[in-house]
Each structure stands twice: as C-alpha cells, then as structure tokens.
Amino acid sequence: MTGFGRGESTANGLQITAEIKTLNSRYLEITVRTPKALQDKEFDIKELLQKEIQRGKVQVSVNLEKGADQKPGLVCNTDRIKAYGAILEQIKFLANIQEPVKVSDLLGFDDIFERKQEDPEEIEQIWNSTRTALSKAAENMNTMRSQEGEELKKELNLQIEGIRELMEEVAVITEKRVPEVRERLQTRIQALIGDETIDRDRLEMEIALIADKMDINEEIIRLRSHLKFFLEALENEQAVGRRLNFLCQEINRELNTIGSKAGDSTIAHLVVMGKEKLEQIREQVQNIE
C-alpha cells in the first residue's frame, strides 16, 4: 500500500530528517539511504521498519544537518602542509620568484585536508536521534496508509457484495432447474429407447446421478462461506493481505466450478460477471498489507 511519512529530531545541534515512502508490492523490499555516519546502521534501520511494515517496496532516506555551532568534520594534515610549503619555497628559489608563498597556493593541493575520525559519542547521539525521527516518520506513514486502507475497504466490500448478489440469483435459478432437468432427461431418454424397454428404477437412478453432477448447491454454499470470511478479514486489525489473496483463489475456484457444472447460459453469464468483480478485487488485494 502506498504511503509517505516524514519525521524530524534534533539533539546537540544535530538535526535528523527521516522520510519513508512505500509502494505496492507482494513482498517486503527495503532500501536505505543514510549519511556516512550511519552507514553501519542499515541493518538496524531495516529491523526497525520490519516491525511496522510487512509488505511493499520501502524507500528510506535519512538526512543529517549540523548546526552552525558544530565544528567542521575536516582537519589539516600538518605534515603535508609543511612538505608542500617547502616544495613551493624551493620552486620559488629556483625560479627566482620574489613573491611569498600564499595560502591560495597551498589550497591547490586537495589532500591537505582530512576527514576527522567520528566521535563514538557523537555517532551514538546521531543514531538515537535517527531512531526518533524514523519512529515519527513511520507513524505518519501508517496514518496515511490507514486512510487509504479505509477507502480500499469500502471498495472491496462493495465488490464482494456484488458477487454475493450474483450468486443469490444463481441459487434461485438452480432451485428451479432441478425439476426441469429431471423432466427433460426423462423425455429425451424415453424418446430414444421407447417405453417398452425402460427399466424405470434404473432410469430414475441415472437421472438422479446426472442431476447430482449438475447440482451446484455445495459450490454456492462454499462460495458464500469464502465471501463471509473475506469480509471478516477486512475487519481484522492485523496484516491480512496474504489471507485475502488466498480467499480470492478459493472464490475463483468455486466460480469456475459453478460455471462448468451448471450448463446454463444465464448462470454462465452471472459467473462471468462475478469473475469480473473478482478480478478487480484481486488487483486491489495486492495493495493490502
């Protein structure tokens, strides 16, 4: 399910901003982008988010900004500066240059500055602030996802109710068909073999077997049960995406069986309409965690 959340945290002149974006996916895929100070915390960040999200493509971005009172993260390499200064003085002497060596001359060497080693205490402060920012971002993201989920729930309820109504029409048609099928079979068989050679007990048994094969009451009952479980799952506060996906498969199975056994054009048309609604449901279920 799509969502976006942003969270911020400040401590000792450090400002951490965390952003979480989620896109639809059947599985959980988390990608993390962090500043250098948090590169070793990627696994910990993923572990935190796995408690909040179970499905979807998740993009996490953490940004670190230091306040104006924070010391720069660079230090001078004094040995290199002295060495470069001596080289410049030697060049000046050999070339008979009278101008003194300037700071700008030294700045032409890009390796006179080094990044100072991170302070373990500062890294711990950054990590604590990052966890706070991530927690806020996850909370805001889940709020957005919940709002989208409520709208999705209404749509799924509507489609499931549509399938249920179609199957009620099928049930009504089925109740009327059994006597008609029995009578039609008797008429056709009598026309083929003649009244003199009919074993009526055998005829009744064969008709009963054929009618039983055409009976779809059991499939309708199972389908009603699957639709009921689907609606109940939508009310569950836990992650139900995989369960709903399974129920879609079972609903599709029963619809296929009803369509193949019924042997009736009206029922076949109603089944097709039901499968169209189910296809819309299956597309939406992929968005549900």
pLDDT digits (tens, 9 = 90+) for 233-271: 888 877 788 889 899 999 999 999 888 877 778 888 999
User: Does 34 share its domain with 63?
Assistant: yes
Residues 6+ away with beta carbon under 8 Å from 70 = 13, 14
User: Does 63 share its domain with 23?
Assistant: yes
| Residue 200 scores a pLDDT above 70 | no
CB of 240 closer than 8 Å to CB of 288: yes
User: Does 235 share its domain with 278?
Assistant: yes
Amino acid at site 184: R
User: Does 155 share its domain with 231?
Assistant: yes
Burial class (CB in 10 A: 0-12, 13-18, 19+), 255: buried
CATH code of the domain containing 252: 1.20.120
User: Does 134 share its domain with 247?
Assistant: no
User: Does 132 share its domain with 208?
Assistant: no
User: Does 212 share its domain with 266?
Assistant: yes
User: Does 173 share its domain with 275?
Assistant: yes
Residues 6+ away with beta carbon under 8 Å from 181 = 210, 211, 214
User: Does 133 share its domain with 191?
Assistant: no
Residues 275, 269: Cα–Cα separation, whole Å: 10
User: Does 198 share its domain with 185?
Assistant: yes
Q: Looking at the 3D structure of the chain, how many domains does it have?
A: 3
Residues 171, 267: Cα–Cα separation, whole Å: 9
Q: What is the per-residue pLDDT across 40-75, written as a single tens digit (0 to 9) for each?
A: 888 999 998 888 888 788 999 999 887 545 566 667
Q: Which range of residues forms the domain containing residue 212?
A: 147-285
Instruction: Compute the CA torsion angle 22, 25, 27, 32 (nearest 10 deg).
Output: -30
